Amino acid sequence: MATATVQSTGIGDYLGALRRRYIYLVTLLPAIIFLRVVAAFAIPPLYQSTATIMLEMSSVPKDIIETTVISYADQQIEIVQGRVMTVENLLSIVHDIDPYPKHQDWSANDKAQRILDNTSLERVDAVTLKPTQESNAFSLHYDNPDPKIAAAIDNRLAQLFLTYNQRVRTQAAGEAAGFLQKQSEGIVQQMREVDVRIAEVKRKYGEAMPELQLRNQSAVEDYQRQLDALQQQILTAQEKESLLALQLSQMNPNLITESGDLTDVATVRAKLTEAEQRYTPDHPEVKRLRRALETLMAQTGGRTGAKQTANNPQYLLTEAQLRGARETLANLQAQSRATRAKLEQRQGWLQQSPGAEREVAEVIRRKEVLQTEYQHIQDRLQSANLAQTFESQQGGERFAMVRSPGIPRLPVYPNRVGLIMLGLILGAALAGIAVAVTESMDTNVRSAKDLPLPEGVVVLSSIPFIKNSWDRRRRALMLTSFVAAYSAALVVVAAVIVSGGHH
């Protein structure tokens, strides 16, 4: 039994199938590409403008000028974005540049919110500008249907970041200096209060202040020596006064008459008193003195208080010496009392000195602590003022523009080239699938390869396909239709591209 020969399929067979099924290639592939081109240029485009900002380190070493502002490197850049990118901050941009002029029905807040929605921030490498997680640089992207507006808005957004950084750092440095200034003023006020307290303590203790203790001690010793000397002088004066008084008591102030009678009433009375103490009332001496006293009293008119002038020179001298001794004694006693009062006063001050010393030491210690703290704050305030000037001149860490936003040439959405290339691939794939399915379902015999001939049977010749006039007219009509369809499609594509370019 003879077996049929199976012919292998080659490239020529595939090319023949494509020639036979060219209708799929010229319809499906251009149609899908046409739809993709229309879609790519009909969808409203969005243009993305990008500004790249980097956090530059301070050019001045920290050991020369130490800033009072916390570095942004220790914070997330997103936090700064959250503070800068707010509706309130973006309203000024909306008032200066209308980001969406075709939407006049939108309010300023709506447009500001739309700017927030169309803005994104991405960490990038400062050199290659490629996205990275750990970097001190970031790209600020803004999408807008108009490329010029996109560039203008993105530039204003970048300026917001730059000015916010400078303003916040200067403000933070100023707040630090202001805080230290208030602290300094508060300490100055406390020092004034301490000075008032010191004055009050000095008024309270007066001469008992610790710095006068040595002087008071020396004065106590001097007064004690003076008092001892005065006491010795008083004793001497008292002895002298007693001696003079005794001498005077034994003298007769008046001279004695020839008859032996005394003329001094006081002397006679004194003699009588002494005799009465020594003798009995009936003693002759007592009686004689009584008679003499009575006679003298009668002679003076009975005036018991009368006193005759002493005429005894020795008596007068002794009496003058006694008066001088008594005056001296009185002066010495007055000096002693004054000296003792001064001594007791100085001793009282010395007794108060320990308490005064403790109270003064406490106040002085408080003042020293305040002075130390004041000097420390003054040093920090000087550094803060220098840091404030340093930050106001952008000498510290600062945001710097690495790449300014430019006007984009191609939209970021939609991806026109990608859509067209995807349409080309999809159209080719669909056309190939259609050709393959149609060929697999076709049972027509077009060549000797399609005949199941027994083995050893050879085909001598074949009659080629002969086109008649109808075939030629149909081919011409089809060609004309394709040319017309393609021309219309090209016109539509051109119109779409032009319209899309005007977006």
Q: Is the pLDDT of residue 86 over 50?
A: yes
67 versus 277: the higher-pLDDT residue is 277
Question: What is the pLDDT at residue 331?
Answer: 92
CA distances 306 to 137, 222, 260, 296, 438, Å, are 128, 50, 22, 11, 181
DSSP code at position 142: E
Q: Is the pLDDT of residue 468 over 80?
A: no
What is the pLDDT averaged over residues 272-296?
A: 81
Contact by Cβ (8 Å): 325, 244: yes
Question: What is the pLDDT at residue 311?
Answer: 67
For residue 287, the one-letter residue type is K
**DSSP string for 472-489:** HHHHHHHHHHHHHHHHHH
For 78, half-sphere exposure in the C-beta direction (CA atoms, 13 angstrom radius) is 5
Q: Is the pLDDT of residue 215 over 70?
A: yes
Q: Is the pLDDT of residue 103 over 60?
A: yes
323 versus 455: the higher-pLDDT residue is 323
What is the phi-psi region of residue 131: left when phi exceeds 0, alpha when psi lies from -120 to 50, beta otherwise?
beta
Identity of the highest mean pLDDT range in 32-36, 140-144, 360-364, 399-403: 140-144
Question: Tokens for 95?
Answer: 């008032």
Q: How far apart, in whole angstroms, are the C-alpha atoms of residue 409 and residue 195?
A: 75
End-to-end CA distance of the chain: 75
Q: How far apart, in whole angstroms, are the C-alpha atoms of residue 476 and residue 90?
A: 64
Rounded to 5°, the CA angle 27-31-33 comes to 125
CA 440 to chain centre: 83
Confidence of residue 493 (pLDDT cuts 50, 70, 90): low
| Sequence-ordered list of residues with C-beta below 8 angstroms from that of 194, at least 6 positions apart, any chain | 363, 366, 367, 370
Q: Which residues of 297-319 are buried (b: 16+ CB within 10 A; e: fewer)?
A: beeeeeeeeeeeebebeebeebb
Q: How far apart, in whole angstroms, are the C-alpha atoms of residue 89 and residue 107?
A: 15
SS3 314: helix
Contact by Cβ (8 Å): 263, 275: no
Question: What is the pLDDT at residue 304?
Answer: 43
Rounded to 5°, the CA angle 164-166-167 comes to 65
Q: If residue 121 lies in a helix (H) or strand (E), which one and from where to where?
A: strand 119-124
Q: How far apart, in whole angstroms, are the C-alpha atoms of residue 452 and residue 414?
A: 54
Q: Count of CB atoms within 10 A of residue 498's CB?
A: 10
For residue 113, the one-letter residue type is Q
Q: How far apart, in whole angstroms, are the C-alpha atoms of residue 451 and residue 5?
A: 9
Q: How far apart, in whole angstroms, are the C-alpha atoms of residue 207 and residue 55?
A: 67
Domain segments of the chain as ranges: 11-40+436-502, 47-184+380-403, 211-376
Q: How far apart, in whole angstroms, are the C-alpha atoms of residue 142 and residue 165?
A: 20
Question: What is the pLDDT at residue 176?
Answer: 73
Confidence of residue 389 (pLDDT cuts 50, 70, 90): low
What is the pLDDT averaged over residues 153-171?
A: 79
Q: Is the pLDDT of residue 3 over 60?
A: no
Contact by Cβ (8 Å): 339, 223: yes
Q: How far apart, in whole angstroms, are the C-alpha atoms of residue 176 and residue 182?
A: 10
Q: Which residues pair with 4 in a beta bridge?
A: 454
pTM across the whole model: 0.47
Give per-residue pLDDT as tens, 44-80: 778 889 999 887 665 554 544 455 445 554 465 666 7
Name the phi and psi angles at 8, rounded to 5.
-75, 155
Name the phi and psi angles at 311, rounded to 5.
-125, 15
Question: What is the pLDDT at residue 352?
Answer: 75
